[in-house]
Structure 1
Amino acid sequence: MKKNIVLFFAIIFLVHSYASVQAKETANVTKILDMKQAMDQHGVILKKWSVYTKGSAGFTLDVNGYRQKAALLKKAAKGYKWNAINEQEHLKMSGVRFSEAGSIKERLTLVAYPQKGKLATYLVYAVEGRSWNKNQFQQFARSFQSRVATYFEGKTATFSCVTGVHSDTMDVGLYKQALELMTTFSAVPVEELKEETFVSISAYTKHWDEKLNTAHKAMNLQIAIRNQGMGGQTAVTIGTPIITSEY
């Protein structure tokens, strides 16, 4: 009887832990909706959104162990077209697949490199959506958590990012525009970089639980704005907790 009670609570704990991880992954993706809404409020047209998840795939003794991990990943990830890139310093395998509409691109990358006489491996799952289709994004968001659970074994870190353009002549300077976007998230600035044609602000908002601890303070939001020259568009990028794509 006592063993049954212990087993019952162990199962409850595992289910709760799994649900917490799933909820966290869903929240990481749906932050894109918050960033899209902020862009809408400030007249920025979203051109691309992306989600970047990475995690350790553990250690393996040799190349054969890496190949076994690669084979298991291929079996779990259906519909990908794979390419192997073996370099002197590390082993790398990458697979790509597209949604039926062709607007969402998924890429899985498995990398192994020497560490302490073994091969350390890590996995990256990168998703990119061109333009904006709310229905397609929501469909992807619903499946994202199960895909992460399928591809990854342990802890993961997820980064979300949106990129857009402001085609009209901006009434305010780049820095003021970045501050206005930041206040949309009720965020406070942590670090900033100001140049004539480029501005970047790192900030912290209490609305999101995840954060990165820098040398100064915690941050979980980054905004970058670049002026692309006379008569050109203004590029706006928003990322959480940081921007992973090029500005």
Structure 2
Amino acid sequence: MQLLAVMLVGVLACFLGYTRIEAQEPVEKLEKMIAVVEANGATVEQWSWLAKEELDSVQDVHTFYKLLDSLVEKKVAADWKVEQSPEGYKAIAVKKFTHYQERLVVTWAKENTKDKTFVTYEVKGTEWDDAILKKMHKIFRQNPATFTCVQAVFDDKIEGVLQNKAAEILEDLSAKPIESLEEIAFVSVSAYTEEWKDALAVNRQKMNVQVALRNTDNKTTVVVGTPIITSEY
């Protein structure tokens, strides 16, 4: 639970301070992370990819629904499920494919009398499809912040210090550790690799990759994310 809390705090931080400099296509990072975890003896169970952008085009309910209609016209969403709360509105569209599932979310709310609108496109699956990137280019107006994660499992439970395996994975990613959280059954390490230009500022240091390992009764799970892990672990 503590590790999950740390990650959720990190998610908030990255949305506020994430900078993008000549960002690589997310599929390249995804392929690299999959190759690294497999080279270290783990089997990939699932990957996830998330893109998020803030818009300033929504000022009221009318423009909120206008935005939803525009996404339908672009054929990137259909069958919106709209939720209303005292904070604002949220619209969700989910679609399942053979090897992945996508979820498009549009939120609009007021924060200190200022309108805040976010569009989030999240995909989870087992096989990549180039149609995902094509759809992303239709959804977003500029260059959204992107977050990529790979979850894998080792056939046998890793005996000994999980930190050692985390260090091996980071070495294969050419990443230098920045900070870590260690307990008996899990470890989480934040690091920076110059191979990926996207980065967060954490305690005046750059970071753009996280590795987390957890031991259960009979197996060890590993999650690798850039610039941070955004999935629950």
TM-score tier after normalising by the smaller chain length: 0.7 to 0.9
Q: Which residue of 213, 226, 230 corresponds with 1:240?
A: 226
**Counterpart residue type for residue 109 of structure 2:** Y
**Given the alignment, which residue of 152, 157, 171 partners 2:145?**
157
Asked whether the equivalents of residues 54 and 124 of structure 1 are also in contact (C-alpha less than 8 Å), the reply is: yes
SS at match of 1:146: helix
SS of corresponding position for 1:147: helix
Q: 1:191 to 1:170 in 2, by over 3 A?
A: same
1:175-200: CA deviation from partner (whole Å, max 9, x where unpaired):
11111111111111001011000100
Q: Is it true that 1:176 corresponds to 2:172 in the alignment?
A: no
Provide, for residues 150-175 of structure 1, a one-character-per-residue CA deviation record: whole Å limited to 9, x for no partner.
Answer: 11113310000000111213254211
Shift of 1:222: 0.3
- After TM superposition, the structure 1 stretch with the greater mean CA deviation from structure 2, 213-222 or 76-85, is 76-85
Which one of 110, 116, 129 corresponds to residue 114 of structure 1? 110
Q: Which one of the candidate residues 81, 87, 98 is aligned to 1:83?
A: 81
Distance 1:118 1:171 in 2: 52
Q: Which residue of 2 aligns with 1:166?
A: 154
C-alpha distance in 2, partners of 1:238/1:94?
Answer: 27
The SS at the match of 2:80 is strand
| Matched length | 213
- Select 2:31's aligned residue among 30, 33, 51: 33
Larger fraction in helix: 1
Residues 25, 158 of structure 1: 8 Å contact kept: no
Where relative contact order (Cα < 8 A, 6+ residues apart) is larger, the structure is 2
After superposing on structure 2, the runs of 4+ consecutive aligned residues of structure 1 that deviate more than 4 Å are none
RMSD: 1.9
Name the aligned partner's letter for residue 236 of structure 1: V
Secondary structure (helix, strand or coil) at the match of 1:55 reads: strand
**Larger displacement relative to structure 2 (111-120 or 217-226):** 111-120
Is 1:207 equivalent to 2:195 in the alignment?
Answer: yes
TM-score normalised according to structure 1 size: 0.80
What residue in structure 1 maps to residue 210 of structure 2?
222
* One-letter identity of the residue aligned with 2:64: Y
Whichever residue aligns with residue 62 of structure 2, its letter is: N
Return the letter of the residue paired with 2:220: T
Distance 1:113 1:210 in 2: 28
**If the length of structure 2 is used for normalisation, what is the TM-score?**
0.85
